[in-house]
């Protein structure tokens, strides 16, 4: 029984470490409004026009939600425009 618990703890630690590394390595996701292009199609009365995406400030990306929740200091640095180690 004790060996099974240690095995499960080792698997959980490996999964947690890999997930944390992945969040640091890939903190961005595509903007859902403009699908990463930085521009969105206007759907008001003028069809076929496009403009800057105001949701992501035309960057085409947002900080991932799990990065924002689990590493808020890192997410704030990314929001300020600081680049991470792998960026």
**Is the confidence at residue 2, as pLDDT, over 70?**
yes
Question: 50 in a domain, yes or no?
Answer: yes
Question: 86 in a domain, yes or no?
Answer: no
> Per residue, what are the HEC states of 29-75?
EECCCCCCCCEEECCCCCCCCEEECCCCCCCCEEECHHHHHHCHHHH
Question: 36 in a domain, yes or no?
Answer: yes
Of the pLDDT bands very low, low, confident and very high (cuts 50, 70, 90), residue 81 is: confident
Question: 32 in a domain, yes or no?
Answer: yes
Q: How many domains does the chain have?
A: 1
Distances (CA, A) of 71 to 29, 51, 59, 66, 85: 15, 32, 21, 8, 15
pLDDT tens, residue by residue, 25-62: 888 888 888 887 877 766 666 666 677 887 787 788 88
> How far is it, in rounded angstroms, from Cα 81 to Cα 87?
11
Question: 84 in a domain, yes or no?
Answer: no
Range of the domain at 53: 2-79
Q: Give me the chain's average pLDDT, please.
A: 82
Question: 14 in a domain, yes or no?
Answer: yes
């Amino acid at each position: 029984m004790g060996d099974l618990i240690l095995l499960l703890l080792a698997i959980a630690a490996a999964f947690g470490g890999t997930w944390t590394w992945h969040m640091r390595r890939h903190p961005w996701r595509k903007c859902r409004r403009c699908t990463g292009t930085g521009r969105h199609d206007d759907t008001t009365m003028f069809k076929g026009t496009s403009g800057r995406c105001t949701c992501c400030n035309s960057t085409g990306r947002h900080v991932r939600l799990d990065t924002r929740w689990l590493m808020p200091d890192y997410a704030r640095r990314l929001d300020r425009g600081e680049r991470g180690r792998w960026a």
